[in-house]
Amino acid sequence: MSFTIRFASKEDMPSVHRLITELAVFEREPDAVKISVEDLEKQGFSEKPMFQVFVAVQNDEIIGMALFYERFSTWKGKAIHLEDLIVTQSKRKLGVGKALYLRLMQYAYENDYKRVAWDVLDWNQGAIDFYEHSGATVLKEWRVVHMTEENLKNYVEKNSHEGI
């Protein structure tokens, strides 16, 4: 199978959105995607882009993507967070995911990032095995913490009277 990997363009965002939605279904959260194509276009292609995306393309169709952004580690320095790595269902097991993963790791290495971090669901054993085999460490002692938009609003409104 022949495919290429390149940085995504603004025009690719409908396909990226489709893959984000497909990943949410795979992760058993089919109603979780609230972001729109327009949000992706605005937030990924503004003066200060919030993310970058590598896409895998076959016959002018985007079949996979790795969406990531820069962050900072107080222990290591500049780092990358891999938000999503997805290959469309019909193109899995063909090396596309591995190629996207490798391209991201090459990018991190070439640009002197000190760490690449991401989350993986505990039931996604195939992904865990792949990551560990690649040399990544899956941290079992750490927990991912999220503050949702609604919870953020409630917390701030409840505690703002105390002063900051």
In which residue are the tokens 């640009």 written? 111
Query: Can you tell me the distance from the alpha carbon of 103 to that of 149, in angstroms, rounded to the nearest whole number?
Result: 32
- Whether 131 is catalytic: yes
The catalytic position among 69, 107, 113, 131 is 131
Q: Quick check: 16 and 9 in contact, CB under 8 A?
A: no
**In terms of C-beta density within 10 A (0-12 exposed, 13-18 middle, 19 or more buried), how is residue 52 classed?**
middle
Chain centroid offset of residue 146 CA: 15
Query: Can you tell me the distance from the alpha carbon of 125 to that of 83, in angstroms, rounded to the nearest whole number?
Result: 18
Query: Can you tell me the distance from the alpha carbon of 8 to that of 113, in angstroms, rounded to the nearest whole number?
Result: 20
Query: Can you tell me the distance from the alpha carbon of 86 to that of 77, in angstroms, rounded to the nearest whole number?
Result: 27
Active site residues: 131
